[in-house]
């Protein structure tokens, strides 16, 4: 079986086969460029790869068939020819399909100064078995090792499946409007401001603004949400979304390198480069452990010569070879990175992007979560919550208010205009005057209309109910001809899963949840009380948020995660132990600074991220305990001559397979 190598900064080969596969495969953008498309946009690798996959199994099938036939000839089929050199040649032929690639890798590693690798151990053990006449055992050890490699590849591919969904959304072309018609070009060549066309069933190639009236999009690859999303004219369409509806025109707002999809691909590409502490420790351990067991195996052959009364070289060499096979650290170096890689894949399937396996570990230790309010726990957009009309019909009040508010670009005015957009009223406002910090004044159908806060009414001497001063939400009071007629309550809507998110975090080990906001303290406290936040602070500038986080970090027992979405959250995201950004609507600065990105913008995914981190860590430690436990027992049995090559195969490849099966469980878990 062929292997690809990677090398550390000193040029030394990393010995862990699975890590080689994982870290090589994690170069998502390069793989995508090389394997998924060429200049004509066709997926040639996919076309040929599917049909050729079975060829990887041919060497193992050939060796297994010959091994079974050899065992049958040895023990069950009466004959006289299967002896001596014929028997040796038969088992050598059975050995070569699975053994030759490993021996080749061993020589390659030795030539680069890396003697103590799993390839070297397996080659020495199996060639040694042939040297003492244990041909079937030699073939069996290498065969099961090859089968283990095939299981590794299958497990890695399964773990990559969720992340691969992200890679597959990379568009291969963009229909650019040029010289009076649309021409397919590479997305990387499109400039900001260019007009592109996306047909039904095609992927959006670049972040853009919708020029057509509307269309429906599948956003699952970016957000994990299966429900189609309708995007209207003027709204943002992200690269990687799949157009489901009709032919649309878009105006490009970002170059491909700066698009949401490019950022996601970069996160996937670099995710496994940031390794968890457990993973780093095992790698260091393997580099020390492997030479130790090799020299112990040598001692197992040499020392008994001087102390044993009846020394038989072949017997002690056989014990040493068994010892070598058992001691191979495959199960550790396979299952641990696979466990973390599986965790990253499982998180991706839920719309959560971890920028490294080390953050999977850190999420399990988080006991304090600090959250921004606007855009994180709330929708981040003003919406009309309540309409109170005293002297006019409610519809009449809204028509007059909408007529005057449509003349303003203020976010509050836009919220009212959006709320009344289906109103076909012919009410027209004239002479509209915007009074900064107060509201609007204008004429609607010959009547003077004021729309604003209590300061506006005080300015013009209009009497109103003093209870309005106690309302914490944003309020737009309406007067007609200097008479108070009603008001509209506007607030930032709390996200549907915000309260559920707070409850779930408490249930998953978070002891303190703090909300920081630049909004009015009264509104901040009301939101906190509504959804169950422990502590909240309002009226904070960006530096105020930094100060609050620094105060909490003084308690060294706290492992802090900060959740935010805005540009002003970037400093706090960097300051916290784990920075979590709301990625679908969040700012570029927040997403770049964060360690974890929640593509669905759902705060409830924070608890999901904690659960996935804990499940991953649990599986990793289970595999460590399994590998060490079985190896120690069988090593002792092997040294004492009570374990044969068959037990050694179980202790090495068998445990590795069990560890792999345990690691891939995370892909089927529900969080």
Rg of the chain (C-alpha set): 33
Q: Two tokens at 300? A: 């197992």
Q: Two tokens at 96? A: 């070569």
DSSP string, 574-642: HHSSEEEEETTTS-HHHHHH-SEEETT--TTHHHHHHHHHHHHHHHHHHHHHHHHHHHHHHHHHHHTT-
State the Cα–Cα distance between residues 540 and 566, nearest whole angstrom: 14
Q: Two tokens at 209? A: 């603004």
H or E element at residue 440: strand 439-444
From start to end of 24-90, where are the E strands?
none
- Cα–Cα distances in Å, from 590 out to 173, 264, 363, 553? 29, 14, 18, 20
Q: Two tokens at 322? A: 């068994």
- Cα–Cα distances in Å, from 606 out to 395, 398, 505, 670? 42, 39, 7, 15
Angle, vertex CA 551, rays to CA 545 and CA 554, nearest 5? 140
SS3 assignment, position 400: helix
Which residues on adjacent β-strands are paired with residue 205? none
State the Cα–Cα distance between residues 255 and 194, nearest whole angstrom: 10
Q: What's CA 43's distance to the chain center, in Å? A: 25
- The label of the residue with tokens 């009015």 reads 520
Phi-psi region of 121 (alpha: psi -120 to 50; beta: other; left: phi over 0): alpha
Answer positive or negative: Cα dihedral of 415, 416, 417, 422. Answer: positive
Question: How far apart, in Å, do the first and last CA atoms of the chain sit?
Answer: 36
Residue 80 CB contacts under 8 Å (≥ 6 apart), including other chains: none
State the Cα–Cα distance between residues 648 and 506, nearest whole angstrom: 46
Let me know: does 256 contact 29? Beta carbons within 8 Å.
Answer: no
Angle of helix 118-131 relative to helix 84-111, nearest 10 degrees, comes to 160
Catalytic residues: 372
Let me know: does 380 contact 565? Beta carbons within 8 Å.
Answer: yes
Q: What's CA 660's distance to the chain center, in Å? A: 20
Q: Which of 320, 300, 292 is nearest to 645 (CA)?
A: 320
Let me know: does 392 contact 415? Beta carbons within 8 Å.
Answer: no
Neighbouring CB atoms inside 10 A of 34's CB total 11
Q: Which of 23, 342, 357 is nearest to 159 (CA)?
A: 342
Q: Two tokens at 189? A: 């060549």
Q: What are the start-end ranges of the H helices in 428-553?
A: 454-459, 498-507, 521-531, 542-553
- The label of the residue with tokens 């990253």 reads 344
């Amino acid at each position: 079986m062929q292997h690809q190598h990677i090398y550390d900064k000193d040029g030394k080969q990393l010995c862990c086969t699975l890590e080689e596969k994982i870290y090589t495969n994690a170069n998502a953008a390069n793989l995508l460029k090389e394997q998924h498309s060429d200049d004509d946009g066709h997926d040639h690798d996919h076309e040929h790869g599917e049909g050729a996959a079975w060829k990887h199994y041919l060497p193992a099938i050939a060796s297994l068939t010959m091994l079974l036939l050899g065992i049958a000839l040895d023990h069950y089929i009466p004959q006289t020819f299967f002896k001596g050199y014929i028997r040796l040649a038969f088992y050598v032929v059975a050995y070569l399909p699975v053994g030759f690639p490993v021996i080749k890798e061993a020589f390659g590693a030795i030539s680069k100064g890396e003697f103590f690798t799993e390839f070297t151990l397996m080659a020495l053990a199996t060639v040694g078995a042939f040297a003492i006449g244990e041909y079937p055992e030699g073939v069996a050890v290498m065969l099961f090792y090859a089968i283990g490699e095939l299981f590794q590849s299958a497990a890695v591919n399964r773990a990559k499946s969720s992340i691969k969904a992200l890679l597959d959304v990379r568009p291969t072309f963009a229909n650019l409007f040029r010289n009076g018609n649309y021409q397919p070009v590479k997305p990387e060549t499109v400039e900001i401001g260019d007009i592109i066309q996306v047909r039904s069933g095609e992927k959006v190639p670049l972040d853009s603004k919708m020029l057509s009236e509307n269309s429906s999009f599948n956003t699952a690859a970016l957000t994990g949400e299966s429900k189609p999303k309708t995007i209207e004219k003027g709204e943002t369409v992200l690269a990687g979304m799949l157009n489901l509806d009709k032919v649309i025109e878009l105006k490009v707002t970002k170059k491909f390198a700066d698009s949401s999809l490019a950022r996601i691909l970069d996160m996937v590409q670099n995710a496994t480069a940031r390794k968890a502490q457990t993973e780093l420790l095992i790698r260091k351990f393997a580099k020390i452990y492997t030479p130790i067991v090799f020299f112990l195996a040598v001692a197992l052959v040499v020392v008994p010569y001087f102390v044993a009364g009846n020394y038989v070289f072949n017997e002690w060499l056989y014990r040493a070879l068994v010892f070598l096979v058992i001691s191979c650290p495959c199960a550790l170096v396979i299952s641990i990175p696979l466990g973390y890689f599986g965790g990253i894949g499982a998180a991706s399937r839920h719309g959560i992007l971890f920028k490294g396996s080390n953050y999977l570990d850190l999420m399990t230790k988080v006991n304090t979560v600090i959250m921004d309010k606007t855009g994180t726990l709330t929708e981040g957009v003003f919406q009309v919550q309540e309409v109170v009309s005293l002297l006019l019909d409610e519809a009449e009040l809204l028509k007059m208010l909408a007529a005057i508010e449509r003349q303003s670009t203020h976010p509050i005015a836009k919220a009212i205009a959006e709320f009344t957009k289906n109103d076909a009223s012919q009410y027209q406002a004239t002479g509209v005057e915007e009074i900064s910090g107060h509201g609007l004044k204008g004429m609607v159908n010959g009547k003077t209309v004021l729309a604003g806060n209590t300061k506006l009414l005080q300015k013009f001497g209009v009497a109103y109910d003093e209870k309005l001063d106690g309302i914490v939400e944003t309020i737009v009071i309406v007067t007609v001809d200097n008479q108070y007629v009603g008001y509209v309550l506007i607030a930032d809507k709390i996200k549907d899963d915000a309260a559920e998110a707070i409850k779930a975090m408490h249930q998953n080990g978070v002891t303190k949840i703090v909300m920081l906001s630049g909004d009015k303290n009264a509104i901040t406290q009301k939101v906190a009380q509504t959804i169950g936040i422990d502590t909240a602070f309002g009226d904070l500038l960006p530096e105020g948020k930094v100060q609050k986080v620094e105060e909490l970090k003084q308690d060294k027992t706290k492992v802090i995660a900060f959740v935010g979405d805005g540009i002003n959250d970037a400093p706090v995201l960097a300051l916290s132990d784990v920075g979590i950004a709301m990625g679908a609507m969040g700012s570029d600065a927040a997403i770049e600074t964060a360690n974890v990105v929640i593509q669905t913008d759902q705060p409830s995914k924070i608890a999901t991220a904690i659960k996935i981190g804990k499940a991953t860590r649990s599986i990793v430690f289970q595999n460590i305990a399994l590998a060490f436990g079985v190896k120690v027992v069988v090593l002792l049995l092997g040294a004492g001559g009570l374990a044969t090559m068959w037990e050694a195969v179980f202790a090495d490849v068998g445990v590795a397979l069990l560890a792999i099966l345990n690691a891939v469980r995370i892909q089927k878990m529900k969080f």
